[in-house]
Every structure is written in C-alpha cells, then in structure tokens.
Amino acid sequence: MSTSTADQLAYEVTPTPKATTFPLNQWYVAALSWELKDKPVGRTLLNKPVVLFRMGDGQVAALEDRCCHRALPLSNGTLEEAGVRCGYHGLLFNEVGKCVEIPGQDKIPSKAKVPAYHVRERDQIVWIWFGNEATSAPDCEPPAYDVHSSGRYVFDGSVYHYDAPYQLIHDNLMDLSHLGYVHLKTIGGNARIHMNAEMKIESEGNMVRVVRYMPDSVPPPTYTAAYPFKGNVDRWQEIEFHVSHLRIWTGAVDVGTDAMDAPERGGFHMRGFHGVTPETEITSHYFWTMATNPVSDPDAIKAKVIEQTILTFDEDKEVIEAQFKNMRQFGENPMIDIHVDVGANRARRIIEELKSK
C-alpha cells in the first residue's frame, strides 16, 4: 500500500492508545463527507476526542482535539488554508498536527504538536484508523462503497447520536423481523410475515450475511409512496455485517416478475449504509445514508425515501435507547434468545473475538 508524506508524518505522532473495549486495527466511520465544510468538527470516537477538518486543498485531516498550549479543544477554533487555528491564543496546526505558527512568536518549540490520526475519504465517507499500538499504521485501505459513486442511485444521509452501546444498534439492524411491530407506518408490513420469513445466514471471516425473503406480500407505505407497484410484491432483505459498518439492501418487485436473488434484479431498491462507531462504552455515533433508484422524478422520490427513512430511524432510536435504559435499570437480569437472533449473535461473537486479540 502506498503511503503519502502526510500519512508518514501522521504515523510518527499517532496517539498512544489507552485500554479499549472495542476491536482495534479497524477503519471506523468518522464523518460523512458533506459534514466537513468551513468549520472543524469535534467528535469523540472510541473514547478519544478527535477534531476533523478540511485543509484549504480539500484534504481531510484528523487530530487529537486538544491544543498543546492550554488544552482548549481545537474544534473550538477556526479553519484556514494551512490548517486549524486554536480559538484561545491562535496557534495554527497543519494536517499532521505540527504547529506552523504562533502569533507574536518567531520560534516554534519542537514539542508544539498534537497527535494526528490516519484518515481517508472514500465514496463520500470519512474513515479513521484505530490501531492497537502507538505506531500502528493501516494495513489496508478503507472499504469502498460504490453505491455512492456508481451513478446508479440517488442518496442522502445524516448522523444520529445514541445514548446506547453500539452493539445494540448492530442487534437492531441484524434483525429486521421487528419491522412489522416498530415501523408500521413506513417500511413495516405484516408482522406475521416478517417473523416467519425464509431466512439464510452465512459467515465469512469477520462478515455475517442475513438474507430474508417475503414473497407475495403487501408492500409497506414507503414502498408504495416511491414506486408504482401493481399489487402484492416479492420482497427481499439482505443484511451484511462488518465490524465497523453494515450494508442493507432491501426492496421488492411485482409478484413473479423477477428472481429475488438475481444480482441485477429490477423493482424498487433501498440501499442503506450504516456506519456504527462507538463514542464511549455506552454512547454511539450512527452515520447513515439511504440510496434508491427512482423510475421518474428522482428529486421528489429521493426526498420521499429520505423522509420515510428518517421517520423509521427515529422509531429505532426511541426503542433502542428505551431498551438500554431498562437494561441499566434491571441490571444483569438474563434475557432469552429466539430464532431471529442468530445473525446478531454471530456478529457479537466476532466482536468478542476481535476484542481479545
């Protein structure tokens, strides 16, 4: 893997990790590209305060969110062509954390620097690398996501902050049987069909895939609002778990018009990207985008799908935060598993194995 000069310098000052309860040597989602505009963004990721920003040439940078002079968060500062300027005494830091200017002082101390993180921007997703050693550099590139760049879909997205651990979000996304109960007004449908859907589960390395089919079912409100179905539909849900994110492809075709497992199937598509990044052990960032394939009026259909997606995710957030609040209230009371939990349990085992490495 080629390494730029900026990456080499960042490697030299990468922060010393503290003990963590999260899988390391991973790319995690730090931001969506359109979040980084004319202001620095401060965000805690895996217990580490980070400031994210763009240089004058558009390059994305990530530093420890603490000025080395008097500890003000650099995210309280301002952006300039050459980097981020502290909002307290004006020290200017470049993309690798080196102080390049101290107002009113010619000599810049060699210790005037802050730790820098390896960061990459790909397909409008900003990724940050967390290694398990002080000198741990990325051993791979961040994942591609050509749904954003292929031109076949229109999409948008945003960020949620959850007062709940990140693995509860994983659990929710890995088990879409809840749609018939939680999302009746949007992407739900008949609850019995959801709970009895044909389901296949596959594992490969650190990936888990759950595929669910619901043939000859009534399309939910979001589907009929966005696509001219003629009646009942053959519906699919494909969920792909990765340690730092999930990819969910859902959709439907008119009954009998296409195979639900055909790679180039037609009909209505919703392709969701779900970047779930721990903030702390009990709070999380949830970066999401939703892409769709309008047959007409793409702006209006995209707006409708995004509106419906937000309503859906609002419902999920309410459930998950209430769930965690109750878990804390009741303590270590045991919980049972049922048939829809197989995929989520496999994902949890992968996380546990990686945390122990």
DSSP states of 201-262: EEEETTEEEEEEEEEEEPPPHHHHHHS---S-EEEEEEEEE-SSEEEEEEEEEETTSS-TT-
Answer yes or no: do 240 and 327 share one domain: yes
Residue 21: the pLDDT is 87
- Indicate whether 144 belongs to any domain: no
Answer yes or no: do 109 and 184 share one domain: no
Answer yes or no: do 124 and 47 share one domain: yes
Answer yes or no: do 181 and 263 share one domain: yes
- Indicate whether 145 belongs to any domain: no
- In single-letter form, the type of residue at position 318 comes to E
Answer yes or no: do 160 and 79 share one domain: no
Q: What is the DSSP string of 17-44?
A: PPP-SS--SEEEEEEEGGG-SSS-EEEE
Q: Which of 319, 320, 251 is nearest to 290 (CA)?
A: 251
CATH code of the domain in which 114 resides: 2.102.10.10
Residue 178: the pLDDT is 65
pLDDT in tens, 166-196: 999 999 999 867 666 565 566 555 555 555 5
Planar angle of CA 125, 355, 344, nearest 5 degrees: 70
- Indicate whether 139 belongs to any domain: no
CATH code of the domain in which 282 resides: 3.90.380.10
pLDDT average, residue stretch 332-345: 87
pLDDT band for 11, please (50, 70, 90 cuts).
very low
- Indicate whether 141 belongs to any domain: no
Answer yes or no: do 161 and 201 share one domain: yes
End position of a domain, from candidates 130, 162, 177: 130
Answer yes or no: do 115 and 247 share one domain: no
pLDDT average, residue stretch 332-338: 86
End position of a domain, from candidates 114, 130, 146: 130
- In single-letter form, the type of residue at position 264 comes to E
- Indicate whether 169 belongs to any domain: yes
Answer yes or no: do 333 and 194 share one domain: yes
Answer yes or no: do 319 and 214 share one domain: yes
**pLDDT over 70 percentage in the chain:** 88
Residue 4: the pLDDT is 36
- Asked whether the predicted pLDDT for residue 322 surpasses 50, the reply is yes
Sheet with 92-93, strands from edge to edge, namely 78-80, 83-85, 92-93, 99-101
Instruction: Name the range with the highest mean pLDDT among 277-291, 310-324, 338-352.
Output: 277-291
Answer yes or no: are the C-beta atoms of 82 and 91 closer than 8 Å.
no
Residue 222: the pLDDT is 86
- In single-letter form, the type of residue at position 45 comes to L
pLDDT average, residue stretch 211-232: 90
Residue 66, both tokens: 């603490």
Q: What value does the CA radius of gyration of the chain take, rounded to a whole number of Å?
A: 22
Answer yes or no: are the C-beta atoms of 247 and 275 closer than 8 Å.
no
Looking at the 3D structure of the chain, how many domains does it have? 2
- Indicate whether 284 belongs to any domain: yes
Residue 253, both tokens: 């075709």
Global confidence as pTM: 0.89
- Asked whether the predicted pLDDT for residue 280 surpasses 70, the reply is yes
Q: What is the DSSP string of 162-216?
A: ESS-HHHHHHHHH-GGGHHHH-TTTT---HHHHHT-EEEEEEETTEEEEEEEEEE
Residue 8: the pLDDT is 35
**pLDDT over 90 percentage in the chain:** 76
pLDDT in tens, 58-72: 999 999 999 999 999
Answer yes or no: do 205 and 306 share one domain: yes
Q: Which of 128, 125, 148 is nearest to 137 (CA)?
A: 128
Answer yes or no: do 190 and 260 share one domain: yes
Residue 115: the pLDDT is 96
Query: Which of 66-70, 80-84, 108-112, 130-134 has the least mean pLDDT?
Result: 130-134
DSSP state of 106: S
Domain holding 86, by residue range, is: 5-10+19-130
Residue 337: the pLDDT is 87
- Indicate whether 222 belongs to any domain: yes
Instruction: Name the range with the highest mean pLDDT among 18-32, 125-139, 192-206, 229-243.
Output: 229-243
Residue 211, both tokens: 């595929």
CA-CA-CA-CA torsion for 216, 220, 226, 232, nearest 10 degrees?
A: 20
**Given the structure tokens 């994110």, which residue do they identify?**
245
Answer yes or no: are the C-beta atoms of 277 and 20 closer than 8 Å.
no
- Quote the CA–CA distance of 306 and 189 in Å, as a whole number: 19
Answer yes or no: do 50 and 193 share one domain: no
- Indicate whether 187 belongs to any domain: yes
pLDDT band for 199, please (50, 70, 90 cuts).
confident
